[in-house]
A and B are shown apart, each in its own frame.
Chain A
Amino acid sequence: MMKDLAMHIMDIVQNSISAGATLIQVSINESAKDDTYLLTITDNGKGIPAEMIEKVTDPFVTSRTTRKVGLGLPLLKQHADSTGGSLKLESKEGSGTVVIATFGLTHFDRQPLGDIAGTMVLLAAANLKIRFVYEHTTPDGEYRFDTDEVNEMLEGMSISEASVMRFLKEMINENLKEIKISG
């Protein structure tokens, strides 16, 4: 269903958007030493009620009314588990949610990252009022993309302009290559 991590990220971030978040932070941390690949998605949305939090990784839990079963979090959990990792959720009603997925860095079943640059840029362009931060750390270094900084440079011009989007995508890809991210 989800072919790569970027697709999962696109989907999990939708939960944050639905929860009314104004700041959404996606972090990836690769550790060769521990052989782990850590994905963290943090938002300042409305949070998940305590009685619901243990249940949301169960495919039969959703607060949506258009479909009876939830899907996004269980799919991510299944993927993380299959690589020897895990999925954890931390949330406080009224202040936000953190989704922490751990994968085995070199595990055969870990899907590739995919088009993370395009995903972050598209999210930013389609949700102009939300601040998105993307951080990626590898043994070779660290890269950070923050739409607040982009908007400061753009001085009123929109991130959603096609040429701005093209540029940002290339910029992120080049910087990720510099820190030698894993596929």
Chain B
Amino acid sequence: MGQVKSLADLRKIKEDLQGKMSLRENSNNPESLVQIRVAMATCGIASGAKQVMEFFIEEFDKRNIQAVVTQTGCMGYCFAEPTIEVTLPGQAPVVFGYVDTKKADDIIEKYVKNGELVDGIIPVNYETIEKK
């Protein structure tokens, strides 16, 4: 203790995880996991996309939900950043806009857990400014 952490200390974390992993069911099949992509373009970053992405990673871990959280570049929804795309297993992707951590919590509790829709869905065929 009191020592500055180094990569050697990762071994312990890895062993703990290995124990947990063997208990997980779906880890070999990403198709069966919830997938979240956070838009990380300038507009998204400026409006808090990093906090939102960290929130999802932490909360899925705490609430024991198996999910893959990654990032994309610009999705073209400047006006509604931060935006995220959520894909539930076997379903079409849904894009949510104006996502802060409170909205993110709603998305986990209502949409991810129960498939209930929450406010802020952006129709995927919404005209981006390019098309206007």
Contact = CB atoms under 8 A, between A and B. Distances in A.
B69 interface: yes
Interface string B97-125: 00000000000000000000000000000
Interface in A112-132: 115, 118-119, 122, 125-127
A165 B5 CA distance: 13
Contacts of B38: 126
Given A66-B76, A153-B10, A171-B7, A75 B50 contact: no
A117 B39 CA distance: 20
A71 interface: yes
Contacts, number: 104
A150 B11 CA distance: 10
A52 interface: no
A100 interface: no
Interface residues of A, number: 42
A72 B42 contact: yes
Chain B interface, >50% SS class? helix
A92 B14 CA distance: 40
A122 B50 contact: yes
Given A18-B73, A125-B57, A163-B61, A154 B10 contact: yes
A14 interface: yes
B45 A153 contact: no
Nearest to B21: A157
B53 to A, nearest CB: 6
B25 interface: no
A171 B17 contact: no
Interface string B73-113: 11110100000000000000000000000000000000000
A67 B78 contact: yes
Contact of B54 (A68, A118, A153): A118
Contacts of A119: 50
26 contacts: A2-B45, A2-B46, A7-B46, A7-B50, A10-B50, A11-B46, A14-B40, A14-B42, A14-B45, A18-B73, A66-B74, A66-B129, A67-B74, A68-B129, A115-B50, A122-B50, A122-B53, A122-B54, A126-B53, A126-B71, A150-B10, A161-B17, A162-B58, A164-B17, A167-B13, A171-B7
Interface of B: 4-11, 13-14, 16-18, 21, 38, 40-43, 45-46, 50, 53-54, 57-58, 60-61, 68-71, 73-76, 78, 128-130
